[in-house]
Amino acid sequence: MRLKGKVAIITGGANGIGKAATKRFLEEGAKVVVADIQKEAGEQLAKQFRDQGHEVMFYPVNVASKDEVETMVEKVKEIFGKIDILINNAGITRDAMLVKMTEEQFNDVIDVNLKGVFHCTQAVAKVMIEQGNGKIINTSSVSGIYGNIGQTNYAAAKAAIVGMTKTWAKELGKKGINVNAVAPGFTKTTMVEKMPEKILNYMESITSLKRLGEPDDIANAYLFLASDESNYITGHVLHVDGGIMM
């Protein structure tokens, strides 16, 4: 029970990696707020875990909206009295080659994947500063480290998250707050599985472990960075990519 009594907000927690993280955190004793724009999936997931005896709530939120995020954080603090962990997991893709990418496609990804992380962290950090402790885990990507064809918007957002993570680690460390990031490789989520099969096969072939990641692989990294086992780690980007870019 590595997270016993801890209160965690997991954005994008209704599906994919976020869903796996919600399950792992509940298993380790956390109280989890599933923050997601997908209301039906979020409510069903929360009910499923409540029926199993876990303390979990769903909160519908668009992380691209500063007002919605601030309202959510105020409500969570009101209900639980604290926020120990923030997992900035929510993300979307709008892939296109550079010369074909529309401004709308670019802005959509930046609004969710980058500004959403800023909104959530800014709001939660204020609570954590008052407490004198907290763990913030951001989700970057190998695309943000090495780039990826057709992902100008996504790679830009995920690269920026690395810079924000290191900046926030420097700013918030003296307040007792650890800030780290996870950079997943290609992981079996609905978002990735929409990619052409030949590309997925190629990604498997160039990965040292010869497989795509599972959502649990990333959830376990979140868990480590959220637990007391990582108390002396901050400003770090943990690559969980099966060795795709060694």
- Give CA–CA dist 155/151, Å, rounded: 6
Is 205 among the domain residues?
A: yes
Count helices and strands (H / E) in the chain.
10, 7
More confident residue, 186 or 191: 186
Phi-psi region of 76 (alpha: psi -120 to 50; beta: other; left: phi over 0): alpha
CATH of the domain at 136: 3.40.50.720
The pLDDT of residue 174: 98
Res. 191 pLDDT band, cuts 50 70 90 = confident
Please give the structure tokens belonging to residue 107: 């802005």
Query: Residue 61 CB: number of other CB atoms within 10 A?
Result: 26
Q: How is residue 214 annotated by DSSP?
A: P
Phi and psi at 88, nearest 5°, equal -85, 85
Is 244 among the domain residues?
A: no
Rounded to two decimals, the pTM is 0.96
The pLDDT of residue 188: 87
Res. 189 pLDDT band, cuts 50 70 90 = confident
- Give CA–CA dist 86/233, Å, rounded: 16
Is 62 among the domain residues?
A: yes
Residues of the chain with pLDDT > 90: what percent?
91
Q: How far, CA to CA in Å, does 109 sit from each of 96, 130, 155, 230?
A: 12, 31, 10, 30
Is 246 among the domain residues?
A: no
Flag whether pLDDT at 193 surpasses 90: no
Q: Enumerate the β-bridge partners of residue 183.
A: 239
Is 113 among the domain residues?
A: yes
Task: Tell me how many domains the chain contains.
Answer: 1
Catalogue the active-site residues: 154
pLDDT tens per residue, range 104-113: 999 999 999 9
Q: Is 25 exposed, middle or buried (0-12, 13-18, 19+ CB in 10 A)?
A: buried
Is 29 among the domain residues?
A: yes
pLDDT tens per residue, range 136-177: 999 999 999 999 999 999 999 999 999 999 999 999 999 999
The pLDDT of residue 178: 99
225: closest CA among 12, 21, 14, 27?
A: 21
Flag whether pLDDT at 245 surpasses 80: no
Q: How is residue 211 annotated by DSSP?
A: S
pLDDT tens per residue, range 129-144: 999 999 999 999 999 9
Average pLDDT (29-47) is: 98
> Domain range spanning residue 106?
7-238
**Does residue 30 contact residue 6 with C-beta atoms inside 8 Å?**
yes
Flag whether pLDDT at 197 surpasses 90: no
The residue whose two tokens read 């929409």 is 194
